[in-house]
Amino acid sequence: MHITFNDPNLAPLAEKVEKRERLDFEDGLTLYTSRDILGIGKLADHVRRQRHGKRAYYVYNQHLNYTNVCANRCRFCAYARDEGESGAFTFTLEDVRRQLLSRIDEPITELHVVGGLNPALGFDYYMDLLRTLKEIRPHATIKAFTAVEIDYLSKLSGLSISETIGQLKAAGLAMMPGGGAEVISARIHHKLFPRKIDGDRWLEIIEAVHEAGIVTNATMLYGHIENAAERVNHLIRVRELQDKTRGFSAFIPLAFHSKNTRLSHLPATTAFDDLKNIAAARLMLDNFDHIKAYWVMIGEKLAQVALNFGADDLDGTIIEEKITHMAGARSAKGLTREAMEGMIRAAGFSPVERDSFYHPAAAPKRDQRPGMEISEERKETRYSFPIPSRALPPGPISEEEALSLFRNADLLDLGKIAHSRRMALHPEKIVTFVVDRNINYTNICTSGCRFCAFYRSPGDPGGYRISNESLKQKIEETLALGGTQILLQGGMNPDLCLEDYKEMLRFIKERFPIHIHGFSPPEIFFIAKKEGISVEAVLTALIDAGLNSIPGGGAEILVDEIRK
């Protein structure tokens, strides 16, 4: 392994990783405080590759949230309601049956079942719930109940944790999800979920569950009021339990979503933090096989990136998950298998549909459905990306080098090369932006580009040309918001001549102190052709009338074949 770090503090960690030595608390803090996200990503990716190559797992699953009535009312929860409150619901067994049957044609291999702590439900309800699930979906793995629910069920039944698990297993329970762990910190517990079991109890219950022969996952809810030390501590406590029981299957960092919660004032987690947590989990949790980037929480695009930062699993296709969806996480409806596999392939990884226990999802379980077999091709790693053996020379790169980087470079290597070039050009580490507004002065266009959803042909309904009044109002609004620029672009409208463009520019410049970034090359060329004058003459006239700079649009024509 050869990684060049921007942050020298990471080098000792890399040595440990290379020697397969365990990272300690201080190392964890170094990971969380370092700004060298690409260096951390490379390190985590190294570990991920050793274990999983370019494979990326997912499961075809359905969620069932059987009740949202909950006595705990954790401050970070958008899902829970009091009995009788508007939006409160509890599924009867008939509701459960209906929900499952509505998806019975889908090749689901896992049912993910969690809910609130509803005082109206007896232990029998839970047993009947499992039996109903088993009856309707005999081949699916029932992954049900967090440690929070198990603690509750043990109290409800008057049985020990292991006896409770024994009963639930007999009714169909096969695995447990990793929820309810939040952050294992007394401070956080006190502030955010005092009525819920605390971190110590969560670990104690999970230990008993593992001993009773049930595999579970583990989560960590981050991005609210917890600090770096609390995150590292969480990872280490979970790791210690894994040393003892080996009962954890995967670790899932859960990005906090604040919508509809009592913490709704908190900002969303950043992509930087999401990737950092995934990479830190991969590096700290040396005894965990799998780290999930739960796409529902971080979105498809970031999940694709996360596969380069230590994650090897995107979790499920997810149908009708409510708990995180109600807090603002992505899709309750879910993805098709094709969309999930497409997302993984597009990121340069090889999709592996798995069952709950990370065996390739076996076709026979899903019986008579045609076309569902896992091909040999899909099971194996199909992509391998050699790391460029040398750093790029300073100065422009050749076409061959560019092509080779495009085709072969690993995402983070490319990122590191680009970042070093950026730092050489702009060592100040500032990021620029402009407060501006896009104004499309006309959508009437004769070009007819096939990729365009914006244009209307001359004479078509819906065609427009902006009025001076509307233009004025849009610019006033922009200035009122502190804007300094407008991006002025439109179609190639045969009713417009050079004089109209000049008039529009003068109209703006006479009234407003604003930078006009306008008219991409196709518009300039269009005017020149229409007027029968040179491009230079058009540019001179527009600049004289107030044009300040020209946007880069319309460049899709640079390759003849694509243009045609």
177: partner contacted, choices ligand V47, ligand SF4, none (Cβ within 5-8 A by kind): ligand V47
Please say whether the beta carbons of 328 and 296 come within 8 A: no
Strands (E), 420-549: 436-440, 485-489, 515-518
Give the x-and-dash track for 99-128 against ligand SF4 (CB under 6 A).
Answer: -----------------xx-----------
Q: Give the integer Cα–Cα distance in Å for 309 and 37.
A: 9
Q: How far is the CB of 161 from ligand V47 (least distance, A)?
A: 18
Q: How far is the CB of 287 from ligand V47 (least distance, A)?
A: 17
Q: Angle at CA 152, nearest 5°, toward 150 and 157? A: 90
Nearer to ligand V47, 133 or 327 (CB): 327
70: partner contacted, choices ligand SF4, ligand V47, none (Cβ within 5-8 A by kind): ligand SF4
Verify binding: residue 148, ligand SF4, rule CB under 6 A.
yes
Please say whether the beta carbons of 154 and 227 come within 8 A: no
Q: Quick one: how far is CA 412 from the chain centroid?
A: 17
Task: List own/partner pairs for 191-199 with CB under 8 A and 24 or more apart.
Answer: 191/75, 191/225, 192/74, 192/75, 192/76, 192/224, 192/225, 192/263, 193/72, 193/74, 193/75, 193/76, 195/71, 195/72, 195/73, 195/74, 196/72, 196/74, 196/148, 197/147, 197/148, 197/151, 199/234, 199/237
Q: How far is the CB of 493 from ligand V47 (least distance, A)?
A: 48
Q: Give the integer Cα–Cα distance in Å for 251 and 282.
A: 9
Q: Which residues, including other chains, have CB under 8 Å from residue 213's CB and lie 6 or more apart?
A: 165, 169
Q: How far is the CB of 376 from ligand V47 (least distance, A)?
A: 27
Q: How far is the CB of 235 from ligand V47 (least distance, A)?
A: 16
Verify binding: residue 72, ligand SF4, rule CB under 6 A.
yes
Nearer to ligand V47, 68 or 261 (CB): 261
Verify binding: residue 74, ligand SF4, rule CB under 6 A.
yes
The two three-digit tokens of residue 135, written as one number: 């009856």
Query: % helix / strand / coil in the chain, to the nearest 5?
Result: 45, 15, 45
Stretch that binds ligand SF4, among 73-81, 160-168, 287-295, 360-368 (CB under 6 A): 73-81
Q: How far is the CB of 227 from ligand V47 (least distance, A)?
A: 18
Nearer to ligand V47, 328 or 463 (CB): 328
Q: How far is the CB of 471 from ligand V47 (least distance, A)?
A: 43
455: partner contacted, choices ligand SF4, ligand V47, none (Cβ within 5-8 A by kind): none
Verify binding: residue 196, ligand SF4, rule CB under 6 A.
yes
Sheet with strand 55-59: strands edge to edge = 313-316, 55-59, 350-354
Stretch that binds ligand SF4, among 71-79, 223-231, 308-316, 389-397 (CB under 6 A): 71-79
Residue 142 φ then ψ, to 5°: -90, 105
Q: How far is the CB of 456 from ligand V47 (least distance, A)?
A: 43
Q: Give the integer Cα–Cα distance in Å for 242 and 239.
A: 5
Q: How far is the CB of 180 from ligand SF4 (least distance, A)?
A: 7
252: partner contacted, choices ligand SF4, ligand V47, none (Cβ within 5-8 A by kind): ligand V47
Q: Which residues, including other chains, have CB under 8 Å from residue 345's CB and lie 6 or more apart?
A: 351
Please say whether the beta carbons of 282 and 44 come within 8 A: yes
Please say whether the beta carbons of 184 and 239 come within 8 A: no
Q: How far is the CB of 91 from ligand V47 (least distance, A)?
A: 17
Nearer to ligand SF4, 160 or 260 (CB): 260
Verify binding: residue 70, ligand SF4, rule CB under 6 A.
yes
Footprint on this chain of ligand V47 (rule: CB under 6 A) = 76-78, 146, 177-180, 182, 217, 219, 221, 252, 254, 256-257, 261, 294, 315, 323-324, 327
Binds ligand SF4 by CB under 6 A, chosen from 73, 139, 366, 509: 73
Please say whether the beta carbons of 160 and 154 come within 8 A: yes
H/E segment holding residue 220: strand 215-222
Count residues binding ligand SF4 (CB under 6 A): 12
63: partner contacted, choices ligand SF4, ligand V47, none (Cβ within 5-8 A by kind): none
Q: How far is the CB of 270 from ligand SF4 (least distance, A)?
A: 23
Verify binding: residue 176, ligand SF4, rule CB under 6 A.
no
Residue 389 φ then ψ, to 5°: -80, -15
Nearer to ligand SF4, 254 or 335 (CB): 254
Q: Give the integer Cα–Cα distance in Å for 429 and 550.
A: 26
279: partner contacted, choices ligand SF4, ligand V47, none (Cβ within 5-8 A by kind): none
Nearer to ligand V47, 54 or 257 (CB): 257
Verify binding: residue 550, ligand SF4, rule CB under 6 A.
no
Q: Give the integer Cα–Cα distance in Å for 95 and 238.
A: 36
Q: How far is the CB of 25 from ligand V47 (least distance, A)?
A: 23
Q: How far is the CB of 60 from ligand V47 (least distance, A)?
A: 13
Q: Give the integer Cα–Cα distance in Å for 69 and 253.
A: 25
Binds ligand SF4 by CB under 6 A, chosen from 3, 37, 64, 77: 77
H-only helix segments in 329-441: 337-346, 376-379, 399-408, 411-425
Nearer to ligand SF4, 74 or 486 (CB): 74
Stretch that binds ligand SF4, among 69-77, 286-294, 333-341, 465-473 (CB under 6 A): 69-77
Please say whether the beta carbons of 197 and 205 come within 8 A: yes
H/E segment holding residue 472: helix 468-480
Verify binding: residue 199, ligand SF4, rule CB under 6 A.
no
Residue, CB closest to ligand V47 = 179
294: partner contacted, choices ligand V47, ligand SF4, none (Cβ within 5-8 A by kind): ligand V47
Instruction: Enumerate binding residues for ligand SF4 (CB under 6 A).
Output: 70, 72-74, 77, 79-80, 116-117, 148, 193, 196
